[in-house]
Structure 1
Amino acid sequence: MSRTSPPPATAAPDVPSLRVVRLAVHIAFYALLAVALGPALLGEEPALVLLPGAALAAVYGAGVVRHRDRPVPWLLAVTALWLVLLALDARFSYVAFPIFFLCLHVLPVRRSHPAIAAATAAVVAAQAAAPGGLTAAKVIGPVAGAAVAIMTGYGYAALYRESQKRQRLIDDLVRTRDELAAAQREAGRLAERQRLAREIHDTLAQGLSSIVLLARAAETAPGEAARARVREIGRTAADNLAEARRFVQALTPPALEDAPLPEALRRTTVRTVPGAVFRVDGDPCPLPVETEVALLRLTQEALANVARHARAEHAAVTLAYLDGQVALDVYDDGVGFVPGELPPDGRRTFGLHGMHERIAELGGTLTVESSPGEGTVVAVVVPTVTRPVRGAGGTPSGSWGRNCATSHSRPAAAIRPRTVAP
């Protein structure tokens, strides 16, 4: 079938615009048929045309209502009944106009145009046999009607193609939307897995590592010191159990539930690296929960690395409240390392990468300064946002109600300890 020909009846998509066009053709058919049958219905003309007229209306309606798997036989039946009526009365010439549309709608272009030409010739012949004989008007009228029908049919074909194109576009958009939604869901799952990996690494893994170190220390410690280590193991295990429950309850870390951030960091420092120094600079101010959690996790990770790898004699943690920022430095005078290089065993570490991600999500910066034999400084600067104050047990506390904007304003580098007294 030609690209410019109207589509077959069975292929037309069920879209509102095309339904309106088809409905208009059907209404025009029945309206013109009623006008042609009018004199016979009113008794002004012989009733000879009523029976074939009723048959034509019934056959046409049956083809419209039922889904036609073979529309060509239906078109032939409609055309045959119309030709019978046309032979009986030239008044049925007007019904040819919707017949033209049916030919364009059902037949391919190589057949629809000859069919329209034959129907036009039949109309001209019927008009010539009517009173008054053949005139120019009786020829021009049917030919003009056929031409209008053909041009309208091509417009209908263009509308059909446009509807198909729009439907394909809609299908593409729906498919793209579904793919985007699936990609977003997958990205969300990956982000959640990454977040949980950081949480587990920064909490449970570090706590279990501390338990292992304490257990080893208890093995070689004298009696009272061993019992103290065992008690410390119990406290660390209890904290880990609380951390595991937090994953289910989505609560803040236990260390921050009953103490403000400086106290939580002090406890973590003393517990993870006995003998390490903790210091607070500036006036403490309230921070968002996610900022406090990130600083606590970073301190745990950095101190765990000091305890496991640094072999340091001294370590220090400094928390500084600056003007619109909070800075955290973790320093040790241990063996150091070359930032960016893999450990000697070739094992990839997740901690530093996780720390960078945590701080980046808060809009802060993390810097690691180290070299072999020169110790290590992990420095973090995070912007502060004032929030409702949370005291011990999660209740408001007036002592934590100050704004960080009123605190000291010093660069982070100024508070990093390069040497720590024994």
Structure 2
Amino acid sequence: MDPTRRQARTAPRKTGGPRPAPPLGPDHDPDAGWLGRVMHVAFFLLLGASLVRFLIRHEWEDRSPWIIVLSAALAALYLLGPVLGTRATPGRIAWLCTVVAVWVVLVVLAPSFAWCAVPLFFTGLRTLPARAALVLVTLLTAFVVFAQVQLSHGGWDPNLIVAPPAVAAIATGVFVHADRQAARQRALIHDLIRTRRELAAIERREGTLAERQRLSMEIHDTLAQGLSSQQMLLQAADRTWETDPATARRHVRTAESIAERNLAEARRFVHDLAPADLAEGGGLEQALRGLAERESAVFRVDGTPVALPDRAQSALLRIAQGAFANIREHAGADSTALTLTYLDDQVVLDVADDGSGFDPAAARDGGGVRGHGLPAMRVRVQQLGGTLTVESTPGEGTVLSASIPLAPPTEAGP
């Protein structure tokens, strides 16, 4: 059976639409480490600036030692944050509650420490789920407003009521937007990675199908055709064994020679090497000349020979072998001719015989003569960008022509 070209087709995988952004919280942003370091530095700068401001603007008093001790304790607690990670574990939540509690006491003692709330907003948004984080930000903001209004000595100021919520809203909005953008980017990267893996799997499947097709054509053009020829020769020897022993022995010797070459081809398949004729040295011309001698055909080379890629040489030799196998099995030709022609832009292989011929249209449609192997030959030349033409008429012989474009000088070699 002649192999036909197959292509692997896969339906697009359904993804169920865009993926929702994950909730705010633990370690969702690849840049969270960098942003966390920035917020840590900002927290310590604000904490230090608030402490310095308090010491400069206030004389030493009873609350001063407590403010210094609580500032140091808050700084030490904040340093433990990276050790506990960013996920909402019980230890992390307990740490956050402790930090907030110490900060609240500091704000009660000195309202200037309220500016440390902005880094705490970020810490809460990274640690807690979205709703809990927003509740924490709201409570912290309300406490800052209360502390600024109730504990300041500068009188009532509208900025004390408007500024903290505005800062909290801006900080929260920027963080939420950045987190959702990062979630979309992660979903996109995940889809791209999955798509790349799927494409790699498709390419592997297509490569497997192509290799199966190549092996099927190799077996058809060599082993199968050789076995068919051996069967015909042995049947002919059996018919003439009593009446013409010399002819029968000649048929047997020819069958033995074909079997020997088929054995060499089988061994080459195991090692996935070039055709046995090409591996013996001498290139395509020598291989075709040897094939023509075995088939009692006339061989001719026209034009100036050029070096051909191994794939082109293998394909042309396989096509010639398949053509001669078809002639032996179907044509009943008295004479055959094999011509290799080098043109300026292509190399052409012609195989002509004066046999019984056939109807190419019927063979192409699946009817007519059985087992010509033309589809396999056509696939071989198409894989190399060439064309295969067959001219035949019942009772008037056949001419098969395979043309393959020559590779550019940089690819074809010297």
| TM-score with structure 2 setting the length | 0.76
- Residue 317 (structure 1) aligns with: 337
- Residue 261 (structure 2) aligns with: 239
Question: Structure 1 residues 97 and 179, CA, compared in 2 at 3 Å: closer, same or farther?
Answer: closer
Distance 1:72 1:261 in 2: 78
Residues 33, 92 of structure 1: 8 Å contact kept: yes
- Structure 2 spans left out of the alignment, 5+ residues: 1-20
For structure 1, which segment, 289-298 or 166-175, has the greater mean C-alpha deviation from structure 2 after superposition? 289-298
How do 1:303-382 and structure 2 match up within 5 A? 303-310=324-331, 312-324=332-344, 325-334=347-356, 336-337=358-359, 338-343=362-367, 349=371, 351-382=373-404
1:80 matches 2:80 = no
Question: Structure 1 residues 25 and 368, CA, compared in 2 at 3 Å: closer, same or farther?
Answer: same
Per-residue deviation, residues 257-314 of structure 1 (Å, max 9, x unmatched): 2556455435434534xxx54242635624424333323222221221122223x353
Deviation at 1:179, TM superposition (A): 1.3
Deviation at 1:8, TM superposition (A): 3.8
Residues 70, 102 of structure 2: 8 Å contact kept: yes
Corresponding letter in the other structure for 2:398 = T
Residues 295, 328 of structure 1: 8 Å contact kept: no
Structure with larger Rg: 1
- Residue 178 (structure 1) aligns with: 197
1:124 matches 2:124 = no
Alignment match of 1:48 (pick from 63, 66, 69): 66
- Partner-residue secondary structure (3-state), 2:385: coil
Identity %: 35
- Residue 398 (structure 1) aligns with: none
- Residue 7 (structure 2) aligns with: none
- Partner-residue secondary structure (3-state), 1:147: helix
Q: How many residues align?
A: 371
- Residue 134 (structure 1) aligns with: 155
Question: Structure 1 residues 286 and 334, CA, compared in 2 at 3 Å: closer, same or farther?
Answer: same
Deviation at 1:358, TM superposition (A): 1.4
Corresponding letter in the other structure for 2:89 = D
Residues 316, 349 of structure 2: 8 Å contact kept: no
- Residue 277 (structure 2) aligns with: 255
- Residue 9 (structure 1) aligns with: 25
- Residue 212 (structure 1) aligns with: 231
Residues 318, 329 of structure 1: 8 Å contact kept: yes
Alignment match of 2:38 (pick from 24, 28, 34): 24
Deviation at 1:174, TM superposition (A): 1.0
Question: Structure 1 residues 7 and 33, CA, compared in 2 at 3 Å: closer, same or farther?
Answer: farther
Distance 1:331 1:6 in 2: 74
- Partner-residue secondary structure (3-state), 1:339: helix
Deviation at 1:385, TM superposition (A): 6.1
Residues 305, 342 of structure 2: 8 Å contact kept: no
Distance 1:268 1:150 in 2: 86
- Residue 280 (structure 1) aligns with: 300
Residues 101, 149 of structure 1: 8 Å contact kept: no
Per-residue deviation, residues 233-271 of structure 1 (Å, max 9, x unmatched): 222121112112222344443334255645543543453
- Partner-residue secondary structure (3-state), 2:363: coil
Question: Structure 1 residues 377 and 61, CA, compared in 2 at 3 Å: closer, same or farther?
Answer: same
- Partner-residue secondary structure (3-state), 2:262: helix
Question: Structure 1 residues 283 and 100, CA, compared in 2 at 3 Å: closer, same or farther?
Answer: closer
Distance 1:87 1:250 in 2: 83
Corresponding letter in the other structure for 2:46 = L
1:265 matches 2:279 = no
Deviation at 1:319, TM superposition (A): 0.3
1:155 matches 2:171 = no
Distance 1:290 1:21 in 2: 57
Question: Structure 1 residues 264 and 32, CA, compared in 2 at 3 Å: closer, same or farther?
Answer: closer
- Partner-residue secondary structure (3-state), 1:183: helix
- Residue 302 (structure 1) aligns with: 323
